[in-house]
Amino acid sequence: MMDTIPEDEYECFECRVRFKERVFTISREWERVHFGQAIPEIEVVDADGLECYCSMACLLKRRDEVMAREGVPIPIRRPQIIPVEICAKCAGPVDMSEFHLTYLEDEAVHNDPYILRPIDVDYLAVVCRRCQPHEILQSTSESVVDFNAAEAKRDVILD
């Protein structure tokens, strides 16, 4: 049994400390990119937080294990927001304008208890539709972090 955590607190999956306000997360989501504007728009559905942490240091300690559990290796060259990326599993093409599975880590802050705003997002891996057709995934972790990433439409700036 898990003990109850107050709604506005997180518990770090690595060091078990309780915290709020700033949260580091590894998550997977179905998303597609709308190109054709100066800043591509990312449409996110079915966002699923896998684990959350109190710090980047704790995230880094867990990252390999989390991705191993998902069966998705992190490529040496991380995915970017470009029209065609490379699948982390089969090395085939991923059409980024079609819904595809994306793994990412982010840092987010609560401006108020109910609004979580990402301030830094890094893509870990993308997976093509042959390796992972679009469906709602069963979570493999006991405790799924519920947060507002599903509603977030992120503006991603190309560099």
Q: What is the DSSP string of 93-129?
A: EEETTS-EEEEEEEEEEEEETTEEEEEEEEEEEEE-T
Regarding 156 and contact with Zn ion (CB under 5 A), the answer is no
CA angle 108, 114, 118 (to 5 degrees): 20
Query: Phi first, then psi: what are they for 59, rounded to 5°?
Result: -60, -45
Stretch that binds Zn ion, among 20-28, 34-42, 49-57, 117-125 (CB under 5 A): 49-57
Stretch that binds Zn ion, among 30-38, 52-60, 100-108, 117-125 (CB under 5 A): 52-60
Indicate the length of the chain as a whole number: 159
Question: Taking the complex as a whole, how short is the minimal distance between the CB of residue 53 and Zn ion, in angstroms?
Answer: 5
Regarding 131 and contact with Zn ion (CB under 5 A), the answer is yes
Regarding 23 and contact with Zn ion (CB under 5 A), the answer is no
In the complex with Zn ion, the residue whose CB is nearer, 80 or 151, is: 80
Regarding 14 and contact with Zn ion (CB under 5 A), the answer is yes
Regarding 15 and contact with Zn ion (CB under 5 A), the answer is yes
Stretch that binds Zn ion, among 44-52, 60-68, 80-88, 99-107 (CB under 5 A): 80-88
- Residues within the interface to Zn ion (CB under 5 A): 12, 14-15, 54, 58, 87, 89-90, 92, 128, 131
